[in-house]
Amino acid sequence: MHHKPAGKRLAPGIIRALRTNIFPPWAPVLTDVAVVETSRWHHRLMDNEQPTNLHDSSKPEGRAIKGRGAASNPEGRFETIRHHAEDDGWSHELLDETAPRPRTEVTEERARSVISRNDSPDIHFTQAINPYRGCEHGCIYCYARPSHSYLNLSPGLDFETKLRAKSNLAEVLRIDLAKRGYVVSPINIGSNTDPYQPIEKRWQLTRAALQVLAECHHPCTIVTKNALVERDLDILVPMARENLVQVFVSVNSLDNQLAAKLEPRASAPHRRIKTIRTLSDAGVPVGVLVAPIIPALNDKDMEAVLAQAAEAGACCAGYTTLRLPYELKALFREWLALHAPQRADHVMSLVQQMNAGRDYDSDFATRMRGQGVFADLLRRRFDIASRRHGYGRARELKLDSSRFVPPRKPSPQGDLF
């Protein structure tokens, strides 16, 4: 099987977009990317991981891979060459639990700008930073998967195994915040990929960004499903005292077996509830996001999640329903066929009922919470449970933007004295 060299499979328009930082409005978080020379780092995270050619037909599509969300590596929508694997019957006999699994690779990326802007009417923040591209959590439902196509990588296994780390994030963030005319508003950390995914333990880019924001007294919000956020309490607690930070922990189910398949490398649900308690006890305002709600799969847990999160100290709550843009439609259907075949048709029938008869409806008015009878039922259930547990709405906490102090611009000559 022959492949064209990487970098030559994108349409010319996409290559220009990568070079000029111009991307379509559906993906505002991609505007901070620069085409640069990179260096490759390999990060071993699991025993028995070996380098794997993820386009190789020796691993047939359609088999679950332990520790990963996606089961295949389909081409992105900008690819000009399609690959098709044929199974002669031997591969399934030879593959077993001891077979090598895809190894996580982290590529260092030098960004020109790290603050992306958003003007979507259904998103409550206007600025965001994402330290990483791709996410090792491997959540099969992640709406950010299609963004990997802009890197000439697959939204499937590539999204969770071929990651990019913006190694100069803190340095560029200082420059962005020091620009003349910069308008302060809360920066969301983790709008596209989780800022506390496992590789953060080594790279510490999220921590570096928080240090800059704390130094400048800049407000921010954080969204994560990883207990690693507790590591940064030494930064978050002082920021909370100045009303500069709010953390949202995403918990969409309390079923450990389901979570292990839906979001294989995120913290376990009970561990995330414990994180809510730890943050709350430390004085950091924390909310819970029941997201995404997948009909006939995890929607039954909504009330239980809200109850346990409230008991742990969550002060506000929000939810979204499943979104399946672009390549994510096929990836999620494949996941259902592997992990919930008896319910697959029912799940997708309800998903389509909430999306005007399609797998996904991008209308700003309905894409986050759906439409129709089932969506209305979810909305009523959420409202009743939220009132019962005394939740405020997720957007009600007003962070303080008045304390901001621009960072000192680095001197071309350095500190001479």
Q: Which DSSP string do the residues of 136-199 spell out, in sequence order?
A: TT--TT-TTGGGGGGGT--TTHHHHHEEEEETTHHHHHHHHHHSTTPPP-PEEE-SSS-TTSTT
Domain assignment present for residue 1? The answer is no
CB-based burial label for 268 (10 Å; 0-12, 13-18, 19+): middle
| pLDDT exceeds cutoff 70 at 410 | no
| Mean pLDDT, residues 132-142 taken together | 97
| pLDDT exceeds cutoff 50 at 93 | no
- CA dist 114 and 102 (Å) reads 29
Residue of 331, 251, 347, 333 whose CA lies nearest to 291:
251
Residue 257 is inside which H or E element, if any? helix 256-262
> Looking at residue 4, what is its pLDDT?
42
> Looking at residue 1, what is its pLDDT?
45
| pLDDT exceeds cutoff 70 at 190 | yes
Domain assignment present for residue 195? The answer is yes
Domain count, the chain: 1
> Looking at residue 71, what is its pLDDT?
64
Q: Which residue has the higher pLDDT, 166 or 75?
A: 166
> Looking at residue 394, what is its pLDDT?
54
pLDDT, tens digit (0-9, with 9 covering 90-100), for 3-23? 444 444 445 444 444 433 433
Domain assignment present for residue 86? The answer is no
Q: 376 to each of 353, 369, 383, how far by Cα in Å?
A: 11, 9, 11
- % of the chain beyond a pLDDT of 90: 68
Q: Return mean pLDDT, the chain.
A: 83
CB-based burial label for 342 (10 Å; 0-12, 13-18, 19+): exposed
> Looking at residue 77, what is its pLDDT?
55
CATH number of the domain enclosing 29: 3.20.20.70
Distance, first Cα to last Cα, the chain: 61
Domain assignment present for residue 55? The answer is no
Q: What is the CA 251 to chain-centroid distance, rounded? A: 13
pLDDT, tens digit (0-9, with 9 covering 90-100), for 192-232? 999 999 999 999 999 999 999 999 999 999 999 999 999 99
> Looking at residue 58, what is its pLDDT?
32
12-26, 124-138, 163-177: segment of lowest average pLDDT: 12-26
pLDDT band at 414 (very low <50, low <70, confident <90, very high): low
- CA dist 223 and 228 (Å) reads 12
> Looking at residue 5, what is its pLDDT?
43
Domain assignment present for residue 137? The answer is yes
Q: Look up the domain containing 280 and give its range.
A: 12-46+68-78+98-393
| pLDDT exceeds cutoff 70 at 45 | no
35-39, 108-112, 348-352: segment of lowest average pLDDT: 35-39
Instruction: Give me the residue label for tokens 């996409």.
Output: 14
| pLDDT exceeds cutoff 80 at 175 | yes
31-35, 255-259, 305-309: segment of lowest average pLDDT: 31-35
If you count DSSP H runs as helices and E runs as strands, how many of each does the chain have, helices first? Answer: 13, 14
As beta bridge partners, residue 40 has 107
In three-state secondary structure terms, 200 is helix
Dmax (CA) of the chain: 72
| Mean pLDDT, residues 174-186 taken together | 96
> Looking at residue 121, what is its pLDDT?
85
pLDDT band at 65 (very low <50, low <70, confident <90, very high): confident
Q: 54 to each of 57, 72, 134, 264, 314, how far by Cα in Å?
A: 8, 8, 15, 18, 40
